[in-house]
Chain A
Amino acid sequence: MYFNSIKIPGFTAPASEALIMTLGLLVFFTILFWGWGFFRAQDNIVNLKSRTKSWWVIIIIYATMMGIKKEISFIGLGFMSFIALRELLSKLQINKNLRRVLFWAYLAVPIQFYLAYIGNFQAFLLFIPVGMFFILPFRAIIEGVAEDSIKTFSQLHWALMLTVFSLSHIAYFISLPEIPGFEAGYQGIVYFLIFLTQINDIFQFISGKLFGKHKITPQISPNKTWEGFFGGLILTTLMGYHLSYLVPLNAMQTTIAAALIAIAGFFGDLNISAVKRDLNIKDMSNFIPGHGGILDRLDSLTFSSLFFFYLIYFWIYL
């Protein structure tokens, strides 16, 4: 599937190949949906149009973050993860007397991405799960507030794990040592992850619309069906198999990785849905007008990034 023909400056040849393929598909679908909306205005294709639009945003963000400079990738990903954390914490009604503890939780974002930048894997792994776990109570004790402390510590730590710890693994791909003989580099690996996570959403949506009958979790999300889930899983795995030139894995491993991205993405999506249902809100914020917040867009990625990272890490680097 990899032709080595055109190269976008700043990207490795396989990554630019994949980018150009996506751009071609996007142009095709944009024209298709525009024409469809023009000639058959009675059909409701708002969802399809808005999905195409958000794919344009995803590809532009990916290209500016990954193609210019390594530092920009870390800062950009750090920002995304900060906004996701802010959206989640602002909905959790943290006790006003614990503002300074909250502030320290935000400080974890630059530190975590700095640790990813310098490539200190042990510190990167330990900082939030262990470090922040013990640092947050320090600040609360200095403040002298006992009220709501169990609730606040659990919420802050959980939010940090979900948004900062998981998303920072995408940044850590950049710091992993290069693999001899592997052309695509971190740009290819990250593209594989983001592309499959996002396309899995679409495959699930389409197969759910076409064949969906049996609901999986009507309480959490009434739109998810077994048919949609398996349709997404099969199509994403096939798509992953064809994109194997982006990852340093053999055919068998690529298939497993793609399937795992589909499954983890599905659970990540439902995890955020459950949170929103619990808080009784539809979107995390209105950061992207018409599309909700950043965390609404990155919901599948919060789980798939972590699982995919450790799969690559255990197969290649251990």
Chain B
Amino acid sequence: MKHMIRKIWLHICYKMIMKPFLKIFVGVEFYSQDSFKDVDQFIFVANHNSHMDTMMLLCSVPFRLLGKTHPLAAQDYFGKTPITTWLSKIFVNAALIKRIKGDGENPIQMMVEWLDLGHSLIIFPEGSRGTPDIMQSFKKGISLVLKERPNIPYIPAYLENTSGPLPKGDGLLIPGYSSIRVGRPHYIDNDSSDEENLNQIKKTILSLQQNPES
């Protein structure tokens, strides 16, 4: 029941309000290739340049999976005050996780716990928003989590020019152009090293950029 309410609430927020707003005002174009067909649980990975990224990814998740999809957010940034914690939980459905190890909590272990509960995660392997349009090196966490649960696929998405309408360090949203291209689900090779896995993930994300619609 609680899950259903959350699902409908997020559906209203993202599919009925946010998506038309992004399409008409901001000029976001959504492309996908039946990415979520036959997928019950996944890890969404994408490049990260703007606060708009999370919104665009959530808009791409189908209704069936929306209530159980959580963008990963840093506790020390989004969980600073009770109000921001509440806002990110209600409006973004975020999973707040501590970046720094300590207090006996391992961030990787916490992500695996979310997955074991049947939830899906949205992860930006670059960590932070970084310099616009330059892809930074990926953090190892994504590979570690996927290795723990190799039966869960990752779905790559390429976000183009999201720093145009809403760049880092500027709160003014300006209409323009940006696009999101969601690819097909992929599985990692459990025998490969973390480095190889990260390269593989990076390659699938970047391949969406060159191949717009196929």
Contacts and interface: CB of A to CB of B under 8 A. Distances in A.
A286 B181 CA distance: 13
A167 B170 CA distance: 32
Interface string A271-296: 00000000000000111000000000
A83 B27 CA distance: 8
A96 interface: yes
A99 B27 contact: no
Interface residues of B, number: 12
A83 B170 contact: no
B29 A103 contact: no
A91 B27 CA distance: 11
Nearest to B26: A86
B170 A285 contact: no
B170 A99 contact: yes
A79 to B, nearest CB: 7
Interface of B: 23-24, 27, 29, 164, 167, 170, 172, 174-177
Given A99-B170, A286-B29, A83 B176 contact: no
Contact of A103 (B164, B167, B174): B174
A90 B172 contact: no
B174 A285 contact: no
Interface residues of A, number: 17
A102 B29 contact: no
Given A82-B175, A100-B172, 12 more contacts: A83-B24, A86-B177, A87-B27, A87-B177, A90-B27, A91-B177, A99-B172, A103-B172, A103-B174, A106-B175, A285-B29, A287-B29
Contacts of B177: 86-87, 90-91, 285
B160 to A, nearest CB: 12
Contacts of B164: 90, 96
A106 B25 CA distance: 11
Given A86-B27, A285-B29, A106 B167 contact: no
B85 to A, nearest CB: 31
Contact of A79 (B24, B170, B172): B24
A287 B176 CA distance: 13
Report, nearest first, the 8 A-B pairs whose CB atoms are least far apart.
Answer: A90-B177, A86-B175, A90-B176, A286-B29, A103-B174, A86-B27, A99-B174, A90-B27
A63 interface: no
Contacts of B23: 287
Contacts of B175: 82, 86, 89-90, 106
A87 B178 CA distance: 11
A285 B175 CA distance: 13
Contacts of A89: 175-176
A284 to B, nearest CB: 10
